[in-house]
Amino acid sequence: MNKQKIKVLCVDDSALIRSVMTEIINSQPDMTVVGTAADPLVARELIKQTNPDVLTLDVEMPRMDGLEFLEKLMRLRPMPVLMVSSLTERGSEIAFTALELGAVDFVTKPKLGVRDGLLNYTEVIATKIRAAAAARLLPSRRSTAAKSLDAPPGEAPLRSPLLSTEKLIIIGASTGGTEAIRDVLQPLPSDSPAVMIAQHMPPGFTKSFAQRLDGLCRITVKEAEHGERVLPGHAYIAPGGYHLSLARSGANYVAHLDQEPPVNRHRPSIDVLFDSVAKHAGRNAIGVILTGMGKDGAEGLLRMKQAGAYTLAQDEASCVVFGMPREAIALGAANEIAPLSEMSRRVLAHLRSSFGERVNRV
């Protein structure tokens, strides 16, 4: 029996964008466009008529902007939404607000040559629609954007004895990862070990992502820069379009950036980061694999574990898409499986226990 095709409704005020999105989607054997709309009010009626599996939604539209429509939609008729955002500073800010409101992911409109540019994104768009169709809808995070920065219940902040340049927390994520990473970073105290992050994200968005997190966290969050020293109390995010690796310069850890070919179709690739950590940090690292489609990071997490690192995978119930954690768990790469709400606490608990073991050995 043939699998039912993914039904997609495209909402964009540009007739050209609607036409090209229709062409891209209908070229895929497993999906079909069931309607297009030039504004949210028309889209509202088409949703009732066609019951789509995924909505692609432009941000800037007449009569009602995309964010206002998204907020109402996720409150009244939750469904997987893929935002279509312009590649500008404002566009990136809007994209992250949309993710807070419950959108699954976003794609970018090219600045020039819209038709050819979008057609070049065919594989990316199709992959993101498949991920959205398989996504678990989670509550809107907008109301929690300014949530408390207190440490998890029952946990005291880390103290200076743990302020170590040796310990590292390494995180990989994809679809659903922007909000998941925030949930992991926010409870970390200012004396946290350094954090390195590979999140699948296009160029032009990671700087805004880092700035957004920096305003919400005790630790400093920034885009990684090539050759900079990796320091406690900081989180370093792989810039879009670059692989991030851990390297050594004498006794110090440093960030290494390069534009070598994509790995597992991604640049940044989580496997590239995890492999470098397995090589240079071994048992001094804690590896965390979060929500995302595909298998990037699964083998790298296994290599981290084999090198002595402690490894955690997000559980299925709290993932937007369980693909990457599932692959890691299947390989036996995770020492522990944890819900997102517990991830920071488990990481800090392991740091405390490993510090206690070190003190006892001394």
For the annotated catalytic residues, the residue numbers are 174, 200, 296
91 touches 208 (CB < 8 A): no
Task: Report how far apart the first and last C-alpha atoms of the chain are (Å, whole number).
Answer: 65
Backbone angles phi, psi at 266, to 5 degrees: -125, 145
> Which phi and psi angles does 249 have, rounded to 5°?
-130, 100
CB 269 within 8 A of CB 296: yes
DSSP 193: P
Q: Is 239 helix (H, G, I), strand (E, B) or coil?
A: coil
Burial (CB < 10 A; 0-12, 13-18, 19+), residue 169, is buried
Alpha-helix residue ranges (DSSP H) falling in the chain: 15-26, 40-50, 66-76, 89-101, 114-120, 122-134, 177-185, 206-214, 270-280, 298-306, 323-330, 340-361
CB contact at 8 A, 244 and 273? yes
- Taking CA atoms, 125 is separated from 8, 29, 105, 175, 205, in Å, by 12, 14, 10, 13, 17
Residues in the chain, how many? 362
